[in-house]
Amino acid sequence: MVNYINQTNRTILFDKINPNKYNLLTLIGDLDSNEGLSDDVIKEIDDCLLVTSYSEFLYKFDPTIYMKLNLENESVVFLENAPTYEANDLITINMNKDNKLISKLSNMLDNEVVIDYSNSSLLDIDDSLVSEQEIKAFVQLRREM
């Protein structure tokens, strides 16, 4: 007879979010494989890796991407890890609540209610993501509708 795992409210991420933060291998890598995990190790794993909200995920894992602009061929390259060489034209983008776009997404995912919504909040989004001209065109189009 087949045993099914009941549905839980948990998600397991198997990808490395930030190489500078703890992951399961760094926590249990030094343990003897013949022994089981002690209660202390399991508690440490829970403390380091378990999150209950998207905001806590951003706080614990501090996801970061790096953007490199190549002006010669007008291209943009996004890197997950900081390059080992020194790059003067490298832009670090921290994916935490200090980033306005991520903060808005985090608020939505945490089910925080925004009572007073106005189009002016769109102007807070970084100019590198949306130009001011595009925002004004959007506001004008919305007024016309």
- Is there a contact between 111 and 55 (Cβ–Cβ < 8 Å)? no
Q: Tokens 């832009």: give the residue.
A: 91
- The candidate with the shortest Cα–Cα distance to 137, out of 100, 145, 104, 126, is 145
Mean pLDDT of the chain: 73
Q: What is the pLDDT of residue 116?
A: 53
- What are 56-65's pLDDT values in tens digits? 888 888 888 8
User: Residue 4 — very low, low, confident or very high, per pLDDT cuts 50/70/90?
Assistant: low
Mean pLDDT across 77-84:
74
Query: Does residue 105 have a pLDDT over 60?
Result: yes
> What distances in angstroms separate CA 145 from CA 34, 139, 140, 141, 142, one per listed residue?
68, 10, 9, 6, 5
Q: What is the pLDDT of residue 42?
A: 83
Greatest mean pLDDT among 52-56, 113-117, 128-132 lies in: 52-56
Q: For residue 79, what are the β-bridge partners?
A: 66
